Every structure is written in structure tokens, then in C-alpha cells.
Amino acid sequence: MGNTTGVRVASAAAIVAALVFGAEGLGDAWGVLAFGPPALRLAGTVVAGVCGAVVLVAALRSQDRRAVAFGVAVLAFALAWAVPGPIGDGLYWIARAALVAFGVLTVRGLRGPQRVLGWVVTIAAALWFVVSVLTQTVPPPSTAQEVLAVVYAVPGVLQAVAFLAAAVLVAVPLLRPVGTGAGSLWSSAEVR
């Protein structure tokens, strides 16, 4: 497998993983997946975990710190769902921290729209980290069902925002050839 093909495979795997966990975050926020079919969530988590392992192996081979952080975030998040108890809880915290690291490395290393998306990932993942701590340690301000629904939906929304913005960032290697081809067509076209 050539280097370009390997980058594209890792990018595709990262996109799948980010979309799965972004969708799970939205599902948790709306209460769809939290009470929905567990087989669907299990299948998505397994697929995302395998994709995370692919990304992590490719990132370690290429020594790409951004991709390593993303691979760790996805793999830890997938494993946390399968491992009960304090180890699973620790893996959730590792996943959130690795996603923050992915965002910070993106902000530090890239420019333009990718840097803006890096800020979105960083802020959403950091807020997801903080809000998750608060929802687990601080009692909600009210026991009204509406308040509880909003309070416990916020982490899911932040998870979705962080992973969906990350999905756009990891899609760049797949979109770059499309942009190059479109630019070539545009420059060679005769406009009259």
C-alpha cells in the first residue's frame, strides 16, 4: 500500500469514527440512542473502535502527533463503552483529553479554515470535559424534568460538535485531490 493510499485509508477510517461518535452524541442529547436499540450503538462503537485502531497504527508509523491524539481519543472512547467500572470511566476522561489535544495540535499546526475548526474541536471538547465533570459531581439546579433533560443533553451536544468538527478536519486528505482537480478544470476552462 502506497503512502498516499495509506493516508487516504487512515483518513477514511478517521471520518467514519468521528461520524459514528458525533451521531452517538446527538443521539444521547435527544435521548434516541440512550434508550434505543443497544445493538445499533454496539455495532457503531465496534466499527469506530476498529477505525480508531487503524488511525492509531497509521499515525504511529508516520509519527503524526495530531493523528495519534485523534486515534487515542477514538480508541479510548470505543473501549470505554465496553469496559465497566473505574477503568471505563478513566478511558472516557482519556478520550476527552486526547480530543482536546487533537484540537490544540490542529490550532498550533494549521492555518485558515482548518485552524478555525481546530478551535471548535478544542473548545467543544474542553467544555464537554468540564460539563461532564459537573454533571457527575454537582446536583442539577432543579429536579424538574425539563431542566434535567437540558442538563444531561449538553454533554451529548458538545460531544457531537467536537467529533463532527473533527470529521471535517480529518477529511482534508480525501478532499485535497478533489480540490486540486476542480482547480485544474477551472483554470483550463475557457470562459467567454
Residue range(s) defining the domain that contains residue 130: 3-171
pLDDT at residue 15, as a whole number: 86
- Is residue 181, in this structure, part of any structural domain at all? no
pLDDT at residue 108, as a whole number: 93
Ramachandran sector of residue 31 (left: φ over 0; alpha: ψ -120 to 50; beta: rest): left
- Is residue 28, in this structure, part of any structural domain at all? yes
Q: pLDDT by residue (tens digit) across 117-140? A: 999 999 999 999 998 888 888 877
pLDDT at residue 1, as a whole number: 42
As for how many domains the chain has, the answer is 1
- Is residue 180, in this structure, part of any structural domain at all? no
Q: pLDDT by residue (tens digit) across 32-56? A: 555 556 777 788 888 888 988 988 9
pLDDT at residue 149, as a whole number: 77
DSSP secondary structure letters along the chain: --HHHHHHHHHHHHHHHHHHHHHHHHHHHHTTTTSS-HHHHHHHHHHHHHHHHHHHHHHHHHT-HHHHHHHHHHHHHHHHHHS-HHHHHHHHHHHHHHHHHHHHHHHHH--THHHHHHHHHHHHHHHHHHHHHHHHHS--S---HHHHHHHHHHHHHHHHHHHHHHHHHHTHHHHHHHHHHHHHHHHH----
Q: How many Cβ atoms sit within 10 Å of the Cβ of residue 37?
A: 10
- Is residue 191, in this structure, part of any structural domain at all? no
pLDDT at residue 191, as a whole number: 53
Residues of the chain short of pLDDT 70, as ranges, are: 1-3, 31-37, 176-186, 189-192
pLDDT at residue 192, as a whole number: 42
pLDDT at residue 136, as a whole number: 80
- Is residue 185, in this structure, part of any structural domain at all? no
